[in-house]
Amino acid sequence: MIKRTFLQSTAAAAWCLASGMAVAQITPLKFQLDWRFEGPAALFLTPAAKGYFKDAKLDVTIDAGNGSGGTVTRVASGAYDIGFADLAALMEFHANNPDAPNKPVAVMMVYNDTPASVMALKKSGIKTPADLSGKKLGAPVFDAGRKAFPIFAKANNITGVQWTAMDPPLRETMLARGDVDAITGFTFTSLLNLEARGVKLDDVVVLPYPNYGVKLYGNAIIVSPKLIKENPAAIKAFLSAFTKGMKDVLANPGAAIADVKARDGIVNVALETRRLQMAIDTAINSPNARAEGFGQVNGPRLSLMASQVSDAFNTKTRVNADAVWTDAYLPSKAELAILPKK
């Protein structure tokens, strides 16, 4: 009896030790989105809901954001390990904070083309970029499209634009009631917000940056230098699990919105399904993305963007393309081959 009890106790102790080791192997990661829980958030909520992060031994906490600039700052501060942010915002942070000890690094391109565009109502008479000269444009001061507008203006010889700043919820309202002639914003955000304010989509002119000579990259997954130094394996595991989830989202965007709804119960499923599909069509599964490969970048294009951002954002120092991007943690090209053929 004593021997059996001893053996049982020993086995129990061994099981507890093994369980403790298993728990210890789970890596907690804090992830910050660029915006609210809308359609595109499914890109990250779906792999979480399907257990792909958990299968990769990651305990990922996903929080909503309030703009790419904030996401970059929070990852830089160490408040978050990983984030989703506009690459131009990351470049700006690097160039304006050359002595910052913790500058985040982009490790996977998700929006191969910037979703930024200029949007106007047809009744304004604006049909082409040239028609924007001398017009009043509106956008929040931190809007990616507004900050990159000098690049768009230079490519299309636009001059004399006057800017009006507002909080994000007022942007589309001000355009709808005629307070401004046009706005900048992510197409899949502002276009659907205009519709929600009673504007018919047929009455909106959309001038996407990529269609008019601006080949900027959009949002990328960024990570903290601390995570790169202390746990590079966790970055690889995250990107692999994310890519697996992305494949599911691309195959069935409608089903993926259920994961967004589960996180935010007031989500309009039909609207957010359209928003997600629009993001996929314009920024994720674009001709450039299919040419370069999902998750990857083209070196000369990245260098050109670094130079354009330096000029347009009037940064303290020039952007170093090699400092803001690394492909060292990407899954294999076979794993990354997830974009459906058009």
Residue 24: pLDDT band by 50, 70, 90 thresholds?
low
Cα 308 from Cα 164, distance rounded (Å): 23
Question: Are the C-beta atoms of residues 183 and 175 closer than 8 Å to each other?
Answer: yes
Cα 230 from Cα 233, distance rounded (Å): 9
Confidence at residue 342, expressed as pLDDT on a 0 to 100 scale: 67
Residue 325 DSSP class: B
End-to-end CA distance of the chain: 71
Q: Enumerate the β-bridge partners of residue 205.
A: 120
Ordered domains of the chain (ranges, CATH): 26-113+217-336 (3.40.190.10), 116-212 (3.40.190.10)
Q: Give the burial string for 10-25 (b: 16+ CB within 10 Å, else e).
A: eeeeeeeeeeeeeeee
Cα 80 from Cα 62, distance rounded (Å): 10
Confidence at residue 341, expressed as pLDDT on a 0 to 100 scale: 82
Residue 295 DSSP class: B
Residue 255: pLDDT band by 50, 70, 90 thresholds?
very high
Tens digits of residue pLDDT in 267-301? 999 999 999 999 999 999 999 999 999 999 999 99
Question: Are the C-beta atoms of residues 182 and 130 closer than 8 Å to each other?
Answer: no
What's the whole-number average pLDDT of the chain?
93
Segment 198-227 shows an average pLDDT of: 97
Cα 241 from Cα 225, distance rounded (Å): 21
- Identity at 297, one-letter amino acid code: V
Kindly report the number of other CB atoms within 10 A of residue 273's CB atom: 20
Comparing 75 with 4, which gets the higher pLDDT? Answer: 75
